[in-house]
Amino acid sequence: MRAATIRDGEIVIEEHPDPVAGAGEVLVRVRAAGLNGADMMQRRGLYPAPAGSPPDIPGLELAGEVAALGDGAARFEVGERVMGVVGGGGQAELAVAHERELTPVPAKLEWPAAGGTPEVFTTAHDAIFTQASLRSGERLLVHGGAGGVGTAAIQLARAAGASATATVRNAQLREQVAELGAQVLAPEGFAEHGPFDVILELVGAPNLAENIDALAPGGRIVVIGVSAGVTGELNLLALMAKRARISGSTLRARPLEEKALAARLVEREVLPLFEDGRLTVPIAETFALEDAAAAYERFAAGGKLGKIVLEI
C-alpha cells in the first residue's frame, strides 16, 4: 500500500506492507483522512505515535470502507462505511483500527467530510461536555474558533442550547465563523465580553491570565491546544475566588476503553445531528494522497476555516 511517510522531518509517499487486522480489529480501505495539529507535531518529532501504531505513517482520523475483519470483530460488515480516531497510520490506502474506536458514517457525509469529522468532533464533544459539563443556557468561549475543533465546538454548543463566542485572529474568517452560530471577537480584550461558564482553550498559555478574568463563578477552562505557548503565570487567588477549575485533555494516547467510550458518546449524541442537518464539517481544502506534502504546507500556512483533508 501507499502511505504518507515521515522521513527526516518531511512528508513523502512510500510503499509499505499491507497491514493485517488482529483480534477485534478492522482493516479499513481509507477513502479520506483529515490533517490535525498532532500530525504537524509528529512530523517535527515532537509527538511520537503511541505504542502499537505505525511510527512513520501519520494520521489519527480516517474514513473508509471495511475491507476485512479480524478474529472476533463483529460490529461492522465488510463494505460498511466507517470512520474513527486512531493512534496513527490513517494517511494511507489501508489502515487498521479496533472496531470499538470506529463509528458508522452518517449517510449525509461525503468522504472528505467524513475524513475530517472523527478527531475534531470527538475532541470537541469530550472537552466541552465530558470534561467541562457544558449545559443548556450556559456561555462557551472558544479560542481559535476557525480551526477544526473550534468549528465543531461552536456547532455542538449551539445544538445543546448553549451560546458560543469565539475568538478568531484572521479578520477575513470571522464572518464565516459567525455563520456557524457564534459571536465572533478579535483575540484582544475578550474578557470584556464575559463572563463565560466554559472556556475551550485551543491557543495556549498567552490567554491564561485573561481566561481567569473572563470566567463566571464556578467556571471551567479546558486546555486542548498550546500552539502559541505552553507556560504562563496563574493567579491562584483569582482562581480560588471564582471557584474555578482548569483541566487539560488529549485524546490520542488514551487507553482503548476510554477511546471506545468517547466514540459511543459521539455515536449516540453527535452523529444524529449530521443526519438532521444541525452539524456540518467545514472543509478548507482537499488534496490527493500523492500531494500530502503540499497538504501539510497548506496546514502550516494557517488562515483557513475548517479542515484540510487527504482524499485517497
Instruction: Write down how long the chain is.
Output: 312
Residue at which a domain ends, from 202, 221, 248: 248
> How many other CB atoms are found less than 10 A from the CB of residue 209?
15
Question: What does the pLDDT look like over 180-194, one tens digit per residue?
Answer: 999 999 999 999 999
**Domain interval for residue 82:** 2-117+252-311
With cut-offs at 50, 70 and 90, classify the pLDDT of residue 140: very high
Task: Please work out, in degrees rounded to the nearest 5, the angle formed at the alpha carbon of residue 86 by the alpha carbons of 19 and 227.
Answer: 130
- Same domain for 256 and 225? no
71 half-sphere exposure, CB direction, 13 A CA radius:
2
- Same domain for 218 and 288? no
- Same domain for 196 and 268? no
Mean pLDDT of the 278-302 span: 96
254 half-sphere exposure, CB direction, 13 A CA radius:
19
**Residue 51 vs residue 84, higher pLDDT:** 84
C-alpha cell at 223: 486546555
C-alpha cell at 217: 463563578
* CATH code for position 79: 3.90.180.10
Alpha-carbon radius of gyration of the chain: 19
Host H or E run for residue 222: strand 215-223
Q: What percent of the chain has pLDDT over 90?
A: 92
With cut-offs at 50, 70 and 90, classify the pLDDT of residue 228: confident
Strands 245-248, 283-288: pairing is: unpaired
Type of residue numbered 28:
V
- Same domain for 98 and 135? no
Residue at which a domain ends, from 197, 230, 248: 248
Q: What percent of the chain has pLDDT over 70?
A: 100
- Same domain for 153 and 130? yes
- Same domain for 135 and 243? yes
Give the orientation angle of helix 118-125 with respect to helix 256-269, to 10 degrees: 90
Does residue 305 carry a pLDDT above 90? yes
Q: How many domains does the chain have?
A: 2
Does residue 253 carry a pLDDT above 90? no
With cut-offs at 50, 70 and 90, classify the pLDDT of residue 226: confident
Q: Considering the chain, what is the average pLDDT of its residues? A: 96
Does residue 79 carry a pLDDT above 90? yes
First to last CA, the chain: 11
- Same domain for 135 and 244? yes
* DSSP states of 271-294: HHHHHTTS----EEEEEEGGGHHH
- Give CA torsion, residues 50, 83, 182, 189, to 10 deg: 10
Mean pLDDT of the 16-20 span: 98
Q: Which is nearest to 35 in space by CA: 110, 88, 100, 99?
A: 88
Q: How far is CA 23 from CA 77, 249, 288, in A?
A: 15, 29, 31
- Same domain for 271 and 220? no
Q: Which is nearest to 155 in space by CA: 140, 173, 170, 171?
A: 140
For the entire predicted model, the pTM comes to 0.95
- Same domain for 76 and 154? no
Q: Are 133 and 109 in contact (CB under 8 A)?
A: no
Give Cβ neighbours of residue 117 (< 8 Å, ≥ 6 apart): 34, 61, 63, 83, 109, 274, 281
* CATH code for position 137: 3.40.50.720
Task: Please work out, in degrees rounded to the nearest 5, the angle formed at the alpha carbon of residue 280 by the alpha carbons of 278 and 281.
Answer: 160
Question: What does the pLDDT look like over 122-132, one tens digit per residue?
Answer: 999 999 999 99
Does residue 162 carry a pLDDT above 90? yes
